[in-house]
Amino acid sequence: MQEPIVSIFSGRASKPLAEKIAKFYGSPLGQSSVLEFSDGEFQPSFDENIRGRDVFIIQSTFPPTENLMELLLMIDAAKRASARRIIAVIPYFGFARQDRKDRPRISIAAKLMANLLTTAGVTRVITMDIHADQIQGFFDVPVDNVFASSIFLPYLKSLNLPDLMMASPDAGGTRRAAFYAKALNTVFSICYKQRSKPNAIENMILIGDVQDRDVVLVDDMIDTAGTITKAGKLIKDSGARSVRALATHGIFSGEALKRLEDSVFDEVVVTDTIPVEHNCSKIHVLSTAEFFAEVIKRVENYESVSSLLIK
């Protein structure tokens, strides 16, 4: 029997998700290991033959930066092992918020990430809800930026909220909120914020009438949860019947979990692009595994990925 030409591997940061993706894909997760040295260096290796295969490496690049380094080393190892194609599946693309030079003497980290991945030997990238769409243009290889809306929209419909209204926690997310509102045949509101410095909000105002509405705040990520919890409180204080938060990537740094637990939210819905370990009663995690498995199948079979997306 001819061996399959597809091999799916995982870095240590995304192992639980990768195991689920491989199961839905219909093949076992490839065998790999990491040799750790006493000084902190590490050396990933593939423990099976990958010559001539299409190798999918699943690894989100959330902190610490060792997760990014491990992905780069695995890509380099696959290239040196004569893999036919090397596809990096990066459910959460770290450093994406540093996509432009908005003040003097800083780096554009997202462009550097693209350069590093390309130099390492990646031939294609698959990611989900990347923070800034223009990052796709930083690469000289194909990038499939898929959307969690394909997972979130069926869930929102299943809630059967009588007076559903979408909302954005900031002006930058207006297009996202408008898309969800259109898909769900409803309206949306906007929370306009002004920052005094990163992760610090000076003031916030609400644009739109939320009185007696079931409001869902939608964003691409929740980091410290400062913005989204403040927006949730503003909406609740403005007369909303219920308030929920919806975000693709649950980073949950600093006091995020405490803020969410103490918040007005009825529910905080995220995906498993980043492993969620918490004791917050309000967090509900939806899996992206079956969706990513289908994306991998379509990439492998040269089928349309865009037709799979709700956008």
- 229-262 per-position pLDDT tens digit: 999 999 999 999 999 999 999 999 999 999 999 9
pLDDT at 1: 43
Q: Are 89 and 58 in contact (CB under 8 A)?
A: yes
d(CA 71, CA 87): 11
- 185-236 per-position pLDDT tens digit: 999 999 987 765 655 556 788 999 999 999 999 999 999 999 999 999 999 9
pLDDT at 311: 55
Residue with tokens 């989204």: 228
297 is catalytic: no
pLDDT at 309: 77
Tell me the mean pLDDT in the region 147-170: 96
Tell me the mean pLDDT in the region 282-302: 96
pLDDT at 193: 76
Q: Across the chain, what does the average pLDDT equal?
A: 94
- 24-72 per-position pLDDT tens digit: 999 999 999 999 999 999 999 999 999 999 999 999 999 999 999 999 9
- Among candidate residues 193, 230, 236, 282, the one labeled active-site is 193
- 122-136 per-position pLDDT tens digit: 999 999 999 999 999
pLDDT at 98: 96
pLDDT at 116: 98
d(CA 236, CA 229): 10
Token pair of 262 as six digits: 């103490």
Give 120's DSSP letter: H
pLDDT at position 293 over 50: yes
Q: Which of 58, 123, 114, 64 shows the shortest CA–CA distance to 91?
A: 58
Cα atoms in the Cβ-side hemisphere of radius 13 Å centred on 304: 4
Give the pTM.
Answer: 0.93
The rounded percent of the chain whose pLDDT value lies above 90 is: 89
Q: Where are the beta strands (DSSP E) in 147-237?
A: 164-168, 188-197, 200-207, 214-222
d(CA 299, CA 144): 9
